[in-house]
Each structure stands twice: as C-alpha cells, then as structure tokens.
Amino acid sequence: MSEKKDRGRPPSLLEQPSFDSSAPSDHFLPPEHLPGLDRLAANKQQSPGPVYAGSEVPGKHDPPTRIGMNIVLFVLTFTSSIYWGFIQYQQFYSEELRHVLTSNPLEAPSAFLGGLPFGVAVIAILLAHEMGHYLTCRHYGISASLPYFLPLPPPNLVPTLLPGTMGAVIRIRGTITSRRALFDIAVAGPIAGWLAALPILGYGLSQSRVVSTIEIETSGFYLTLGEPLLWGPMSRFFGPEVGPAQDLVMHPLAFVGWFALLITAMNLLPVGQLDGGHLMYSLVPQWHRTLSFAVLILMFFAGFRFFPGWILFAIVVTALFIMGGLGKPLPINHGQKLGTIRIILTLIALAIFVTSFMLVPVKIPPIAFS
C-alpha cells in the first residue's frame, strides 16, 4: 500500500474514547465516587474552586499506585507501533530494499530498525495528549492515573489504518466539580497532542518523495488520504514540489502526523464524551445534550453520504454517550467564570479543529494493475 497526493487532489492515525459515568469525557474513566448531597451543599458555601476528591487538603500526595499494567501496555503498544512502522518502512523504501516485503522482522532487520522512529513518533503524540490531561489534573490536585496505552495486533492479522494502537486513556479517580478544571483538563490534551504532531508531520513531509501519477496508479492497491486545511501550507513549506502529473508518496512519519491531525479533529467534535464534549459542557452546559444529539445525527449523515467510517465512529460515541448518562448534569459550579484566557484557548481549539478536520479521510480509488 502506498499513500499519494498531488497539489490538485487529496493526499494519497481517536484514540479510543473512555468515559466518566457522570460527565462527558473521552479519557476520564468513572471516579470511585460522587460527592453526596450534604457535601455539595457544604461546597456551595465555599468559594468557587475544584473539589479535591480523596483528600480534603489540596496538594496532598496520592497514595502509591501500581503501575505494572501501565508499563506492560506501554511496552506492547510501543512494540506494535514499531512493527506497524516496519511494514510501512518496507513499502516506502521498497526499491532500496529490492522489493523484499516480509512480515518477519528477522528477515529484514534494517527495515525493523526503520520502524523505530515510527513507534517513537506514535508514542510521543499519544503521551503528549494524555500527559496534557494528567498534568492538568495534578495542577488541580485531582487524583489521576498514568496513561494506559492500548495496543493493536499486527496489521497482517488485523488490517487497519490505526498505527499499531487504539490510543491511550487516563483514569481520573477524583471528582471534577470546578468548571475551570473541567475546561482545562479537556483542552490541554488536544492542544498538547497537536503541537507534538506538527514537527513530526513537517519532518515526514520533508522525507516524502514525488513519483509520476501513472506509476502510482499502475502499482496496484493504494489509498488516497484526505487533505485538511493545514496540509496545504505544511506541504508547501516542508514537502517537495509536486508537478501536475505527479503524486506525493508520504513518508511513514508524515502518515503519523497526518493521522494525529485527523484524530485530534475527531476528538474535538462537540459531542458526548469526547474532549470537545467536555469543552462544550464547560462553556454551555445547558446545550450539551441537544448539541450532542445534533452532532451525532450529522455524523451518521456523513457516514451514509461521504465516508462510511463516520457511522462506526458515531456508533461508538453514541454508546459512550448513553453509558455516560446522556449528558447527566455534573455537580460543578456553573457560576464560576472561565475568564479571557480560556476564551482564547477555546478559539485556539476551534482553529485546530477547523484546520485539521477531514470529512473524507480516506478514498479507495479504482485498482489498476500494470
């Protein structure tokens, strides 16, 4: 498989959401408990601010937690991402490798080493996103786990465009009752992950190569990848010049960057348990449920009209939305003002969504054979 792109056509990876049983979230697994009515009544008499679940003293250290599972999942995800990169590396450098394609790393050790930067890039983007959430939780004194990475089987066993992983999640053990904390935790992940993706995308484009359109179309099976608004300036600045009868074959690292843009945009959709749903809840909680249903309807429509993958994504988001209580009200202080900085961050998140969104992420053109 090879990815292609020229100046006049689209370029030739959501993490798997998790949820809070009472709050819209794609990363926040259910807290161990919610505050009782008597505790909420006591909180109303205090100045607005976050509630530090598990401790009445802000900043108190959490008890030691076991991280064995985190480490095991990290190693498995890193390994699966390297293997995915190993497959991509062989396809991109097929001529240099004398067209030797194998699923056994021992038969092509140089290609397996070539997959190492791919795995590092995938982990770096996921880690940036999840640590954005985690460190913001720590800032507010809210207990949270380290990231749990979610590996995938090898692509030769489970064919998928996902780069060896379904993403990563953190578990928030405390209860978020501050409007500002909810906003900051939600927005920190997408911005951090997006910023980590840009240099990877830029470098990958600089290593991509240009081939003739006929060569691509007669090479067998290939995919045409969607083009977000950000792609144009990035490819012009970092990528090679593409002529009218040429296409851009993306370097594996360019694919990682492209996929990160796609997932970031999908994660920022203002619906249900996604980060965008969190942001919407912190901004206009009274509209969260209505807008979520509206976005879900649009997702299903896009799936039937433009790209079938939206249907699967809409089903997953709908299931999590239902399991999360369909926008069940949170015990947060809605009277707390977000302030100017968070309004600016909202605009930044909106700009990231607009410039990274792809209505049709993947196209499968008619297969031509030489």
Q: Kindly list the distances between the CA atom of residue 106 and the CA atoms of 159, 205, 226, 293, 365, in Å, as whole numbers in the listed order.
A: 21, 29, 34, 50, 34
Reduced to 3 states (helix: H, G, I; strand: E, B; else coil), residue 319 is helix
Tokens matching residue 350: 């909106």
Q: Kindly list the distances between the CA atom of residue 33 and the CA atoms of 42, 88, 126, 234, 328, in Å, as whole numbers in the listed order.
A: 17, 45, 28, 46, 15
Task: Say yes or no to pLDDT of 35 above 50.
Answer: no
- Do the Cβ atoms of 208 and 54 come closer than 8 Å? no
pLDDT category of residue 126 using cuts at 50, 70 and 90:
very high
Q: Which residues contact 287 (CB under 8 A, 6 or more apart)?
A: 280
The pLDDT value recorded for residue 97 is 57
Question: Among 29, 34, 364, 266, which residue's Cα sits nearest to residue 170?
Answer: 29
The pLDDT value recorded for residue 32 is 38
Question: Among 189, 310, 198, which residue's Cα sits nearest to residue 261?
Answer: 198
Q: At residue 369, what are phi and psi to the nearest 5 degrees?
A: -120, 145
pLDDT category of residue 17 using cuts at 50, 70 and 90:
very low
Per residue in 165-192, pLDDT (tens digit) is 888 988 888 888 788 999 999 999 999 9
Task: Say yes or no to pLDDT of 216 above 50.
Answer: yes
Alpha-carbon Rg for the chain in angstroms? 22
Tokens matching residue 211: 């081939």
State the pairing for strand pair 3-4/223-225: parallel
The pLDDT value recorded for residue 27 is 42
Q: Answer with the residue of higher pLDDT: 215 or 4.
A: 215
- Do the Cβ atoms of 193 and 125 come closer than 8 Å? yes
What is the mean predicted confidence (pLDDT) over 286-297? 91
- Do the Cβ atoms of 325 and 22 come closer than 8 Å? yes
* Helix or strand run (H / E) with residue 216: helix 213-217
Tokens matching residue 96: 């240099």
Rounded to the nearest 10°, the torsion over CA 154, 155, 158, 159 is 170
Domain edges within the chain: 3-369
In this structure, of 52-61, 64-73, 263-272, the range with the lowest mean pLDDT score is: 52-61
Task: Say yes or no to pLDDT of 368 above 60.
Answer: no
DSSP secondary structure letters along 155-209: TTTS--SS-SEEEEEB-B-S----HHHHHHHHHHHHHHHHHHHHHHHHHHHHH-E
The pLDDT value recorded for residue 33 is 37
d(CA 349, CA 314): 21
State the pairing for strand pair 209-212/165-169: unpaired
The pLDDT value recorded for residue 53 is 32
Per residue in 127-152, pLDDT (tens digit) is 999 999 999 999 999 989 999 999 98
What is the mean predicted confidence (pLDDT) over 63-73? 82
- Do the Cβ atoms of 213 and 5 come closer than 8 Å? no
Q: Answer with the residue of higher pLDDT: 216 or 204.
A: 204
Task: Say yes or no to pLDDT of 43 above 60.
Answer: no
pLDDT category of residue 229 using cuts at 50, 70 and 90:
very high
Buried b (16+ CB within 10 A) or exposed e, 190-203: bbbbbebbeebbbb
Averaged confidence pLDDT in the chain? 78
- Do the Cβ atoms of 265 and 13 come closer than 8 Å? no
Above pLDDT 70, what percent of the chain?
74
